[in-house]
Amino acid sequence: MPEQMKLIKLNKLQARTLTLLQELARHPETSTKDADTGDVLITRLPEAHGSHFHVGEAVVMSANATGLRNESVWKALERKGLARSFFPYGIALTPNGQAFDTGLRETILIRAGH
């Protein structure tokens, strides 16, 4: 487990959700960056088709995304200084939230064709 995660103490659901939000923040079709604050506002969450959905070129299993529309998870990320919640309209990742290493990127973002 990355040292950073031990200090902030994200649970598994929060860590998976933050990983997905970080990926969504990298794509202009799902996010907008605020040049003044460095926050990235995410307002378009992907819709699953079958057991998965797409984020950019990655495929994500729906089972790894149960926190994407969960107000409690958004609020927890906000309390930890990683995001600002505007539930249900959007969530802004702070610079700390964008840089946080959950250690899950390679695990839940599948980069193969399907």
Segment 73-105, tens digit of pLDDT: 999 999 999 999 999 999 999 999 999 999 999
C-alpha 26/C-alpha 71 separation (Å) is: 22
* Model confidence at 4: pLDDT above 70: no
Instruction: 50-54: list long-range contacts, CB under 8 Å, 24+ apart.
Output: 52/114
Q: What is the residue extent of each domain of the chain?
A: 3-108
- pTM of the predicted structure, to 2 decimals: 0.91
Cα–Cα dist 28/61, whole Å: 22
What would be the CATH architecture of the domain defined by 3-108?
Orthogonal Bundle (1.10)
Higher pLDDT, 52 or 4: 52
pLDDT surpassing 50 at residue 24: yes
